[in-house]
Amino acid sequence: MSNFLKRRDRLRKVIRHERAEALLVTNPVNVTYLTGFTGGDSYLLVTQATDLLLSDPRYEEQIGEESPGLATFIRQPGELLSEVTVRELNKLELKSLAVEGDHLTVNTFDGWQRELNVESLLKGSGWVEGLRAIKDKVELAAIRRAIDVAERVFTSVRAQLSARQSERDVANEIERLTRAMGGAACAFKPIVAVGPRSALPHATPGECLMGSSPFVLIDWGAIVDGYRSDLTRVLLTSRIPPKFAKVYETVLAAQTAAIEALKPGVMVSQVDQIARDVIARAGMGPRFNHGLGHGIGLDIHEAPRMSKKLDQPLVAGMVVTVEPGIYYTGWGGVRIEDDVLITADGYELLSSLPRSLSENTAPLLLG
pLDDT band at 332 (very low <50, low <70, confident <90, very high): very high
How does pLDDT run across 265-282, given as a tens digit for each residue? 999 999 999 999 999 999
How does pLDDT run across 214-227, given as a tens digit for each residue? 999 999 999 999 99
* Domain stop point among 101, 132, 163: 132
Residue 10 belongs to domain with CATH number: 3.40.350.10
pLDDT band at 366 (very low <50, low <70, confident <90, very high): confident
Residue 267 belongs to domain with CATH number: 3.90.230.10
What pLDDT score was predicted for residue 367?
A: 60
**Residue 206 falls within a domain, yes or no?**
yes
Q: Is residue 193 within 8 Å of 217, Cβ to Cβ?
A: yes
- When the pLDDT of each residue in the chain is averaged and rounded to a whole number, the result is 96
What pLDDT score was predicted for residue 365?
A: 87
Number of domains making up the chain: 2
**Residue 141 falls within a domain, yes or no?**
yes
85 and 150 assigned to the same domain: no
What pLDDT score was predicted for residue 333?
A: 98
Asked if pLDDT for residue 310 goes beyond 90, the answer is: no
60 and 93 assigned to the same domain: yes
319 and 215 assigned to the same domain: yes
187 and 329 assigned to the same domain: yes
Domain assignment of residue 37, given as a range: 3-132
* Domain stop point among 132, 152, 172: 132
How does pLDDT run across 342-354, given as a tens digit for each residue? 999 999 999 999 9
CB atoms within 10 A of CB 345: 8
**Residue 213 falls within a domain, yes or no?**
yes
73 and 172 assigned to the same domain: no
**Residue 367 falls within a domain, yes or no?**
no
Which long-range contacts does 341-348 make (Cβ < 8 Å, 24+ apart)?
A: 341/135, 341/140, 341/317, 342/262, 342/263, 342/264, 342/314, 342/315, 342/316, 342/317, 342/318, 343/263, 343/316, 344/264, 344/316, 345/263, 345/264, 346/262, 346/263, 347/259, 347/260, 347/262, 347/263
16 and 112 assigned to the same domain: yes
Q: How far apart are CA 241 and CA 337, in angstroms?
A: 22
How far out from the chain centre does Cα 140 lie?
13
115 and 148 assigned to the same domain: no
57 and 87 assigned to the same domain: yes
**Residue 365 falls within a domain, yes or no?**
no
Q: How far apart are CA 215 and CA 236, in angstroms?
A: 4
* Domain stop point among 100, 132, 164: 132
What pLDDT score was predicted for residue 84?
A: 93
Q: Is residue 22 within 8 Å of 98, Cβ to Cβ?
A: yes
pLDDT band at 1 (very low <50, low <70, confident <90, very high): low
Asked if pLDDT for residue 121 goes beyond 70, the answer is: yes
86 and 197 assigned to the same domain: no
303 and 327 assigned to the same domain: yes
